[in-house]
Amino acid sequence: MDNATEIIREHPEYRSRAQTWRTYRDLYSGGEQLRANADRYLIRRQKEPGEVYGERLGHFFYENYAGSIVDWYTATLFRREPVILFDGANDNARRFLAQFIGDCDVRGTSLTEFFRKRFTEVLVYGKSHVLLDFPRHAGGVESRAQEDAEGVSRAYLSAFTPEELTNWSYDEHGGYEWVVLRTTALRKARVEDAEWIRETKWAYFDKECFRIYRHAEAAQLGGMLPWTETTTGAVELVDAGRHGLAKLRRVPVIDVDAREGLWLMNRCGLLQLEHLNKSNALSWALTMGLFAMPVVYSEREWNQMVGESYYIQLGPQDRFGWTEPEGKVYQIAADNLQRLQEEIYRVCYVSQAGGSLGGPGSQSGLSKQRDFAITEEVLRAYGDAVKEAMKRVLRAVNEAREDGLTVEVTGMDEFDIGDFSTELADAKALLGLGMESATLRKQVYKKLALKYLCDSRQETKDRIAAEIEGSVEG
């Protein structure tokens, strides 16, 4: 890609999935975001008058089961932080990685919190993208010490959703050959400026170089409109050079994803849309049923006005009544809504929730393990995907900085179905078997200690792991 015209083009797969991603984002968010786009999701009946459809839009509401399930998975998976271990003699590198884990995006976000948000995006969009970058430096650096002193070696992460990765190509090994990331924001050069500027940027990365393109125009009223290739105005190159992974011959974008079957919103999205339309239809029918229509049975010509401030005069043979539905179809609709709700939970592997994430009362630890057996396996699969992405990011940082450490990420395989006392008892039983292995004892002690202290700072965890490594004898 050598010019701006090619940079702004969108990948065919991006175009085919952009509408799906937007729908899933709205279904996950719910609230006013979905209400603002209600006409995209509330189906208009055949030949329905515009006034009636507009009134139904005014009564629009949404029971957001999908969003609750996604948030439950995220909270459960990250209930205990992953355990990150370094091995190597480079103390400066260990200190940097501990700092990086505490603040991975130069905004004070810990690595665990950063990946918590990426995992939510994986459940909603099917994947998320992490850009690994290093600060730009105008001049050359002559030593590693100068790099550290001037902050050039301070790696940091940026996050992008699939809606922002607009074009890409793969190499023969299945990795990225190049990617294009597009972001849009409203800006003012000065606070006293009258107009807002809509600024769109494209960041192109291949295996060695990057280029940043920019387009700016006066923002339309109503906020940021989506970029299209027919948008007027010039696209200019504003920055270019070699990126931080150039010496590794690697595009600095790492995907966080799960298998197609674990893309939760893709599994339940259509069910949630069906539930949305059925629930709104039932609500509208019930609302209209509250405003019963008067019925007059008479053979005479009827021309009297009917209302709260009027009265009617009936003849000896005339009758007066009110329309009122029998309610059979309402019961059918309510039963169907209940079945749809249960199906949403079932396809998301939480059928035991039964419509309530709290569960049916208190249970023993063994009972919980039995009821959540399938959900646990799905959570472990998610945990493996997150740990793999974390390892790829940390190892890429380690290789780019040439720190020479080995990095491992463990944990995310226990989900509070049991309690810590059970794990402690299991560890005691294992060590009580009398196996003469100092390595086994070290690993058991470290796993227990780091899990118990999962909320501690990374420097503290490293110090504890080093002390265990040095104190446990065979």
* Structure confidence by residue, pLDDT tens digits, 139-193: 666 667 777 777 778 999 999 999 999 999 999 999 999 999 999 988 887 777 7
Token pair of 113 as six digits: 């919190």
Q: Which whole-number Å values give the CA distances from 300 to 310, 320, 371, in the listed order?
A: 19, 13, 68
Establish if 429 belongs to a structural domain. Answer: yes
Nearest to 147 by CA among 157, 137, 132, 156: 137
What's the pLDDT score for residue 389? 95
Question: Which alpha helices (DSSP H) does 134-257 contain, by range?
Answer: 144-149
Average confidence (pLDDT) over 112-120: 96
| pLDDT band with cut points at 50, 70 and 90 for residue 253 | very high
Rounded to 5 degrees, what are φ and ψ at 251?
Answer: -70, 130
For residue 31, give every residue at least 6 positions away whose Cβ sits within 8 Å of its Cβ, in sequence order, or none.
Answer: 62, 64
| pLDDT-derived band at 474, boundaries 50, 70, 90 | very low
pLDDT at 191: 76
Question: pLDDT for 75-110, tens place per residue?
Answer: 999 988 888 888 888 888 888 999 999 999 999 999
Q: Within a domain: residue 172?
A: no
What's the rounded Cα separation, in Å, for the pair 84 and 394?
10
Q: Kindly state whether residue 425 falls inside one of the protein's structural domains.
A: yes
* Tokens encoding 389: 């992405």
Cβ within 8 Å of residue 329, ≥6 positions away: 285
356 or 285, which is more confident: 285
| Contact (Cβ atoms closer than 8 angstroms) between residue 293 and residue 322 | yes
pLDDT for 430 equals 80
Residue 237 scores a pLDDT above 60: yes
Query: In sequence order, what are the beta bridge partners of 257?
Result: 127
> Which range marks the domain in which residue 457 is found?
419-474
- The pLDDT confidence band at residue 358, using thresholds 50, 70 and 90, is very low
Indicate the pLDDT class of residue 411, thresholds 50, 70 and 90. Answer: confident
Residue 119 in contact with residue 256, Cβ under 8 Å?
A: yes
Is residue 470's pLDDT more than 80?
Answer: no
In the block, tokens 């000896």 appear at 316
pLDDT in tens, 304-333: 776 666 667 777 777 766 666 666 788 888
Q: Where are the alpha helices (DSSP H) in 176-228?
A: none
Q: Is the pLDDT of residue 221 over 90?
A: no
Task: Please report, to the nearest 10 degrees, the dihedral formed by the alpha carbons of residues 408, 412, 418, 424 taken in order.
Answer: 10
The total number of structural domains that make up the chain: 1
DSSP structure class, residue 11: -
Is 473 domain-assigned? yes
Cα–Cα dist 114/219, whole Å: 31
pLDDT for 227 beyond 70 = no
Query: Among 155-164, 193-202, 243-252, where is mean pLDDT lowest?
Result: 193-202
Q: Please name which of 216, 221, 249 lies closest in space to residue 231, comparing C-alpha atoms.
A: 216
Q: Confidence class of residue 366 from pLDDT cuts 50, 70 and 90?
A: low
Residue 433 lies in a domain: yes
Residue 213 resides in a domain: no
Rounded CA-CA distance 213/183 in Å is 11
Question: In this structure, is residue 467 part of a structural domain?
Answer: yes
pLDDT at 205 over 50: yes
Q: Which of 31-45, 135-149, 161-175, 347-361 has the lowest mean pLDDT?
A: 347-361
In a domain, 105, yes or no: no
Tell me what pLDDT residue 356 has: 45
Rounded Cα distance between 321 and 340, Å, is 37
pLDDT of residue 357: 44
